[in-house]
Structure 1
Amino acid sequence: MDVDIIKHKKNGDRIQQKEVILVTGSSGLIGFSLIQKLAKNYRIVGLDRVGPPYPPLEAECVNFDITNEESIAMAMERIRYGYGNKIAAVIHLAAFYSFKTKENDLYNEINIEGTHKFLSQLRDFDVKQFIFSSTDLLYKPINRGQKIDENSPINASWGYPRSKILTEDVIKQYNQYFKTVILRVAGVYNEYGHSIPISNQIKRIYEKEPTSHFYSGNLNHGDAYVHLEDLLSAIIKTIEKQNELKDHIIINIGEPYSPSYKELQTKIGKLIYGKQWKTYKIPKWIAKIGAWGMNITGDSFIKPWMINRAGENYELDINRAKELLDWEPKNSLLETMPFIIKNLRANPAKWYTKNKL
């Protein structure tokens, strides 16, 4: 009987000369793609919860429960046994995020306390750098034409960004053990969308939902975004420049131009139907009643608590990223939108599945 011979590596990972990097949330959109890029130059360990999806084959998958200190300790002992005590960088992407409710206990259990427990275990390792994926949504919204830099006021109005603020405070307590970098990241997207607000906005127009014609905020305001490839580049540059960066540095990562809600409506409408998509501003109290009614009869993406956030404006100053990381985005959401819509029209079922709609 013929047997296929598998060519095993002559040297195990532990004795390779490549430095070790840990990535939490390794099976997610960012973690999965990041590992594939980092694996060329580093030995990668992906940390994630038990069960599918899994990180790419370029990384060893070590399962753990970030809310359970014993589970974290066991995972880190496996890493010590397989890779030793020295870790070049830890990229902490694991987090809970949901638009279904304004507040959720998991923001505390996973994002804040989970990070605290994880950092406590990392103290026993020789870690050069800890990189945390935070959010630009923790900033106080601004008027159109202004810019948010890393010293701008903070004012989170719901659970997710509030948990990031508190997690940043936790991380600062551990700066005595290793260098820490906070990346305040804008909304991430790629050629399939993969951004919850953007994919839902496209869905409403594509399905000609009545709600696609109405908005309760300032139509000329918008959110900040960053293409997945640009974010990956920023993270990699953060690792490469770890010896040059100061302790506990905060860096904005996003596109310098934030398209307005009206611009996106117009762009999406023309790409799908070849014509202007009419959008009307309505009072918030009417929008809240409408959102309440839609959620009584079904599970609408638009929740009543979101109405107060409609029209908030975020425009990022990325000069620090340019200066310290030699980084600036190569993509823009408006220029990528034709590819997003092209993928939707080519295979709607696949697009909906990828965006979990």
Structure 2
Amino acid sequence: MAEGVVLITGARGYIGRSLVDRLSGQYRIIGLDRAVAEDIPGLDASYAVDLADDASIADALAKVRAAHGNAIAACVHLAAYFDITGDPNPLYNDVNVEGSRRLIAGLQDFDVEQFIYASSMLVHEPKPLPDERIDESSPLGPTWPYPQSKADAEQVLRENRGDIPVVFLRFAGVYDDKGHSAFLAEQIAGVYEHRVSAHLYPGMLCAAQSALHLEDLTRAVERTIANRADLEGETPILVGEPETLGYAEIQDIVHCQIHGEEWTTVRIPKSVAKLGTWIEEEVLGHDGFVKQWMVDDANAHYILDISRARNLLGWEPEHSLRDTLPTIIDALKADPQDWYETNKLNTARVAW
């Protein structure tokens, strides 16, 4: 039997749909998104909301109260603006930061047992070497606008939460059995297409960032809600795989799986890589995937200590990127056109 109301912002999104599927039947699930969701099994109700508009949030929450009452077991705040350009964008503040403030302020009149904010491990300062792990006490130090907006939103929620307990789930980079990770998909495509540029990397070849399977992410949220009575005040929790593959290791696994042999990756100076991205964008007029900020972050290590997730949530990952990469590659080889479309890549590169 459904136990309490769970609000999910961004319910129509990639993570939101999977989370609705995970939680349906356990709770009454109410979706909030830019448009009403009419095609998601498991949603008990859905309301349109613009996080950049005070009146829109007030109207949506009034509808929630009128139809479902004042008691909310948990609000899971997934909705956010994101792009990979690395450039500042006013939507980072309007949606991610101020939108979070508007939402938590609007919930003050409700009886909310828990507010879960979908944050990122990237709010932390990266480590310079692979033998150092990041935990929740590690310094914050986001290196580009998207994670900066996440860090700013965390602070806004601390300042405006009132008596609502807030959990900051700092997720690693999300993927699933077909990829659905912009950075991983681009890396795989480079190897698949035998691009010369895919043999080059402007940083330590061991540079590694924790990953997180979509199913493990939704299970972490499920465990967070289930443990809400024990999570008081403000609780940051890192959520990701403790085993983290370096860039070159991913290259080797992918190439062996696709082409049956090892792949040679060569480290190049950052200045050369930046010149290459500048020529591609400014001289050739191509909208290349690699941006200047990615070159700057090529040595960044995000290797996580997930002790807190284990201790407070009883959670640890059931998947690993190492074990899932062959499944992702099998999906690519079975239907390259579909895989490229799924991962929002240029299908013209596989139109043969």
TM-score range, shorter chain: over 0.9
Residue 134 in 1 paired to residue 122 in 2?
Answer: no
> How far is the alpha carbon of 1:54 from its aligned partner?
5.9
**SS at structure 2 position matched to 1:243:** helix
Residue equivalent to 2:10: 25
- Counterpart of 1:82? 67
User: 1:153 is matched with which residue: 139, 148, 159?
Assistant: 139
Tell me, yes or no, if structure 1 residue 248 matches structure 2 residue 241: no
Residues 113, 205 of structure 1: alpha-carbon distance in 2 compared, 3 angstrom cutoff: same
Q: Aligned equivalents of 1:340 and 1:237: distance in 2?
A: 27
Match of 1:35 among 20, 30, 34: 20
How far apart, in 2, do the equivalents of 1:237 and 1:341 lie? 30
Cα distance, 1:55 vs structure 2:
6.1
1:117-196 counterparts in 2 under 5 A? 117-142=102-127, 143-196=129-182
Q: What corresponds to 2:54 in structure 1? A: 69
Matched, 1:304 2:292: yes
Distance 1:113 1:55 in 2: 29
1:91 matched to 2:76? The reply is: yes
- 5 Å-filtered alignment, 1:213-228, equals 213-228=199-214
1:203 aligns with 2:189: yes
1:232 aligned onto 2:218: yes
Residue 327 of structure 1: aligned partner:
315
Distance, in Å, in 1 between the alignment partners of 2:337 and 2:224 is 37
Question: TM-score of the superposition, structure 1-length normalised?
Answer: 0.93
Once the two structures are TM-superposed, the CA of residue 225 in structure 1 deviates from its matched residue by: 0.7
| Per-residue deviation, residues 114-136 of structure 1 (Å, max 9, x unmatched) | 11111111111111100001000
Structure 1 residue 348: Cα displacement: 1.1
Sort the Cα spacing of 1:138 and 1:325 in 2 relative to 1 into closer, same or farther, 3 A. same
What is the Cα deviation at residue 291 of structure 1? 0.8
Q: In the TM superposition, what are the counterparts of 1:336-355 in structure 2 within 5 Å?
A: 336-355=324-343
Kindly provide the CA deviation profile for residues 135-175 of structure 1, in whole angstroms up to 9, marking residues without a partner as x.
00111111111111100011111101111111000111233
Partner Cα distance (1:354, 1:62) in 2: 27
User: Cα deviations across residues 288-336 of structure 1 (Å, max 9, x unaligned)?
Assistant: 0101112232111111232111121111000011111111101110110
Equivalence for 1:287: 273
8 Å contact kept, 1:23–1:90: yes
- State the one-letter code of the partner of 1:153: P
User: Counterpart amino acid of 2:107?
Assistant: L
Across the two proteins, how many residue pairs are aligned to each other? 341
User: How high is the TM-score relative to the length of structure 2?
Assistant: 0.94
Answer whether contact 2:257 2:326 (CA < 8 A) is retained: yes
Aligned 8 A contact 2:8 2:32 in 1: yes
Q: Name the SS of the counterpart of 1:223 in structure 2.
A: coil
Query: Which shifted more, 318-327 or 242-251?
Result: 242-251
Q: What corresponds to 1:47 in structure 2?
A: 32
Gaps of 5+ in 1: 1-15
Q: Deviations over 1:163-219 (max 9, x none)?
A: 111100011123333111011110010001111110111111111112101000100
SS in 2 for 1:307: helix
Separation in structure 2 between the aligned mates of residue 336 and residue 254 of structure 1, nearest angstrom: 14
**Cα distance in structure 2, aligned partners of 1:54 and 1:174:** 32
Corresponding letter in the other structure for 2:70: N
Q: Residue 316 of structure 2: SS of its match in structure 1?
A: coil
Structure 2 residue runs without a partner (length 5+):
346-352
**RMSD in angstroms over aligned alpha carbons?**
1.4
Letter in 2 for 1:94: A
Q: Secondary structure at the match of 1:336?
A: helix
State the alpha-carbon separation in 1 of the partners of residues 245 and 257 from structure 2.
16
Distance 1:23 1:279 in 2: 42
**Identity, % of aligned positions:** 40
Aligned to 2:42: 58
Within 2, Cα distance between the matches of 1:201 and 1:28?
24
Runs (4+) of structure 1 moved beyond 3 Å?
none
SS, match of residue 109 in structure 2: coil
Structure 1 letter corresponding to 2:5:
V
* TM-fit CA distance, 1:221: 1.4
